[in-house]
């Protein structure tokens, strides 16, 4: 039996913008939307940026387009990865995200292949996400995330 690829379930494309409100307005005027502000359940239990424990903040909003979401991300505070992207490239596609069932297993597989985590966040709700530096070819970061594991409250 062939093992399912980490990259089998494309979930969203992350676009870094300098002004989230302006970007939402622009895309919605084009007919892409409505965007919804992203509020993830649970509290942050661990968070790293470029290998260091660091509090960082972003603002984000997303819209579903068929089977894929577009996520707009504005760096707010200490979001070094997104700030560096803006400084180097300007606004644009920063990452491609894949949803996985077992984050720890997929993380180990990617690290064994030599990919390094540049941003990581773990939440009390079971949501785990890591950005892996795959910029060597194509210049894009891969995000791998496991969705919420605890039941949603009503």
3-state helix/strand/coil string of the chain: CCCCCCCCCEEEEEEECCCHHHHHHHHHHHCCCCCEECCCCCCEEEEEECCEECCCEEEEEEEEECCEEEEEEEEEECCHHHHHHHHHHCCEEEEEEEECCCHHHHHHHHHHCCCEEEEEEEECCCCEEEEEECCCCCCCEEEEEECCCCCCCC
Q: Does 63 fall in a domain?
A: yes
Q: Does a structural domain hold residue 3? A: no
Interior angle at CA 79, CA 25 and CA 6, nearest 5: 90
Residue 118 lies in a domain: yes
**What tens digit of pLDDT does each residue of 24-54 get?**
999 999 999 999 997 776 777 888 888 888 8
Q: Is residue 55 part of a domain?
A: yes
In a domain, 151, yes or no: no
What is the pLDDT at residue 1? 65
Residue 99 belongs to what domain range? 10-146
150 or 72: which leads in pLDDT: 72
Q: 95-144: per-residue pLDDT in tens?
A: 999 999 999 999 999 999 999 999 998 888 888 999 999 888 788 899 99
Residue 80 lies in a domain: yes
The pTM assigned to this predicted structure is 0.87
Residue 54 within any structural domain of the chain: yes
Across 63-72, 77-86, 87-96, 141-150, least confident range: 141-150
Total domains in the fold of the chain: 1
pLDDT > 70? residue 152: no
Q: What band does 154 get if pLDDT is binned at 50, 70 and 90? A: very low
* Residues 29, 128: Cα–Cα separation, whole Å: 33
**2 lies in some domain:** no
CATH of the domain at 78: 3.10.180.10
């Amino acid at each position: 039996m062939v093992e399912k690829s980490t990259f089998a379930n494309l979930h969203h494309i992350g676009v870094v913008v300098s002004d989230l409100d302006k970007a939402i307005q622009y895309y919605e005027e084009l007919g892409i939307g409505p965007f919804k502000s992203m509020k993830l359940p649970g509290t942050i239990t661990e968070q790293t940026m470029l290998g260091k424990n660091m509090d960082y903040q972003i603002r984000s909003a997303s819209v579903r387009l068929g089977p894929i979401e577009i996520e707009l991300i504005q760096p707010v505070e200490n979001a070094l990865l997104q700030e560096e992207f803006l400084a180097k490239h300007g606004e644009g596609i920063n990452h491609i995200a894949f949803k996985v069932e077992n984050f720890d297993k997929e993380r180990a597989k990617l690290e064994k292949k030599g990919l390094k985590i540049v941003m990581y966040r773990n939440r009390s709700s079971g949501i785990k996400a890591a950005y892996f530096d795959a910029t060597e070819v194509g210049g894009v970061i891969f995000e791998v995330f496991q969705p919420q594991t605890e039941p949603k409250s009503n």
